[in-house]
Amino acid sequence: MKALSHLLLALAWIAALLFFLAGGMLSYEVAARYLFVAPTIWAAELSQLCLIWGTLIAMPWLLSANRHIAVDVLTERLNRTGRRLCQALAMTAIAAFSAVVAWKGGGIFYESFERGRTTGSMLDLPIWISELAVPVGFTLLFLQALIEIGKAMRGIEPGDAGSHDGAAT
């Protein structure tokens, strides 16, 4: 699990870099379009690709670090056992959803890859590049949700990983 923890942290940093690059590309596009009247054919599509990959590869780290959105007005009023049960049930739902999305997303990716589908834009990138992010991201989220189920069953609070990075250990 330590290797997965390091992988998720590395992917979170890559996601942050991808978000930064997307912002840079979009800023460049705005300047090129409105200041120089010379729009690009690549900035919008590549920034969209960065945002898709960044979002999907950051999900498992966010779950491991307990940085996701949670409404805990009711669960905070429960005793420790009740909170552990709610955490385990929530992680089971995330694992089930992630498994389905990874499986279906993998099929969509494979079909696009086989058929050679492209975006149809001026850049005309293969569409499987963005579609691959779905099975990759959700498979990693599925694995992290299983780890979180195990932690809930052992009584470890969400986000307690024993390290400063918040990743699963």
Give the tens place of pLDDT for each residue, 98-118: 999 999 999 999 999 999 999
- Predicted confidence at residue 142, as pLDDT, reads 98
Residue 30 lies in a domain: yes
H or E element: which one contains 155? Answer: none
**Domain interval for residue 28:** 2-154
pTM of this prediction?
0.88
- Predicted confidence at residue 155, as pLDDT, reads 84
Residue 54 lies in a domain: yes
Domain total of the chain: 1
Q: What is the mean pLDDT of the chain?
A: 91
Residue 159 lies in a domain: no
Residue 168 lies in a domain: no
Residue 23 lies in a domain: yes
Over 70: is that where the pLDDT of 22 sits?
Answer: yes
Residue 164 lies in a domain: no
Residue 167 lies in a domain: no
Please list, residue by residue across 110-146, b when 16 or more beta carbons sit within 10 angstroms of its beta carbon and e when fewer do.
Answer: eebeeeeeeeeeeeeeebbbbbbbbbbbbbbbbbbbb
- Predicted confidence at residue 157, as pLDDT, reads 78
Residue 103 lies in a domain: yes
